[in-house]
Amino acid sequence: MDSFSVIVLLIQAAMQNEHAELPSEVDWQEVFRLSNVQGVNGLCLEGMNRILTRKPEQHENRDELWLQRMRWMGITMKLEQTTLQHYEMLHVLVDGMCAELGIDHVVIMKGFTISRLWPNPKLRPCCDIDIYTGSNHRRVDDWLSSKGVRIEGNRNGKHTAFTLNGVHFENHRQYLGGMKAMLPINDYLDSLDPIEIMGMPGAKQLPPLGNCIFNLCHLATHFQEYESLTLRHIVDWALLLKTVQPEEYKSLVVSFDLALVNDLLTALAIQVTHANLSEYIVNGVPERDVNRAFGDIVSCKKHRTATLKDWPSNFLLIFRNHWKYHYSPNSFSERVWGSIKRKIIGSKD
């Protein structure tokens, strides 16, 4: 059994409490490396814990498992400390905006809110924190600038970025980019009443249905353009779907022309987590495309494309992934034009 398959087994053990038969010989160093690249090392530790505590005497390699468990615990403790730092800085930011700018609330997006669905929220890595301030976007940027914080990015674009005490934030003016297919979805998300986040006054998040639609669009961008879907994203998607009612969700997905990408991501979530999610599939997708998309995840292509910041390379990347636009509400031609516009005009979608 290859190292990637071992990681998938550990994920299934963590999420479904499934009995996992690990092979007697495992390249744990490679498993550890890959799980870190895929953003699931903490989840793999949870799976390892469940395997060891269920019937430890049945595992021939239990001594090796215990040794690896101790090693992983040290790394995940560092991850927990990083998560705590993120949480504290988010508190400071939200408290400051509400007190000094008179803003009623700030909407927290993406990873930070999804982490609360994980078996252990502290073990979901978050590279940055995304906030949505909408009409208050420029006020927030100006307020931060007045305090000596450097604001990066186009203030008329989808979002700007800044860093506070080593924690990277993105301040969103829009939930999604300005492409034609995203406009009605942006309007829908803007129409929703955010819900409270327990334990954080002034911070809210999209309600479950809106949160699923938003993250579906976000993951579609990762899938179609950047080749950067990871196992962490697939685990996120499996957990997000469980927060909504299938029929209501599927009706909304169809109305926004998101059925194809929903079905592909859901098929991947079933394959990786073994979660019972078939009722969230609208029509289904060809198995060859599911395997092709899974191959992207396995090959970790995001680490070969993350440094391609020059426009010609990114432009070619879009063409290489043209088959994926069948699964996206954003047309291939629209994405190509968006890439040209960002480079020549300096606009951001």
DSSP string of 87-104, one letter each residue: HHHHHHHHHHHHHHH--S
pLDDT of 63 over the 60 cut: yes
Tens-digit pLDDT profile for residues 294-319: 988 888 654 344 344 555 666 666 66
- The answer to whether 228 and 222 are in contact (CB under 8 A) is yes
Tens-digit pLDDT profile for residues 128-171: 899 999 999 999 999 999 999 999 988 778 899 999 999 999 99
Check residue 347 and give its pLDDT.
43
Alpha helices in the chain (DSSP H): 3-16, 28-37, 41-54, 62-101, 111-114, 137-146, 183-191, 208-221, 231-241, 246-255, 259-273, 287-299, 302-305, 311-320, 332-344
Identify whether 88 is part of a domain.
Answer: no
Identify whether 278 is part of a domain.
Answer: yes
Determine the Cα–Cα distance for residues 122 and 81; give it in Å rounded to an integer.
Answer: 8
Determine the Cα–Cα distance for residues 132 and 170; give it in Å rounded to an integer.
Answer: 8
Identify whether 347 is part of a domain.
Answer: yes
Identify whether 267 is part of a domain.
Answer: yes
Identify whether 310 is part of a domain.
Answer: yes
pLDDT of 45 over the 60 cut: yes
Identify whether 154 is part of a domain.
Answer: no
Tens-digit pLDDT profile for residues 64-103: 777 777 878 877 888 888 888 899 999 999 999 999 999 9
Determine the Cα–Cα distance for residues 344 and 346; give it in Å rounded to an integer.
Answer: 6
Identify whether 181 is part of a domain.
Answer: no
Q: How many domains does the chain have?
A: 1
pLDDT of 345 over the 50 cut: no
Note if the pTM is more than 0.85: yes
Full residue range of the structural domain in which residue 244 is found: 207-349
Determine the Cα–Cα distance for residues 200 and 81; give it in Å rounded to an integer.
Answer: 18
Identify whether 22 is part of a domain.
Answer: no
Q: What CA–CA distances, in Å, run from 45 to 42, 76, 107, 234?
A: 5, 8, 31, 17
Looking at residue 213, its amino acid is I
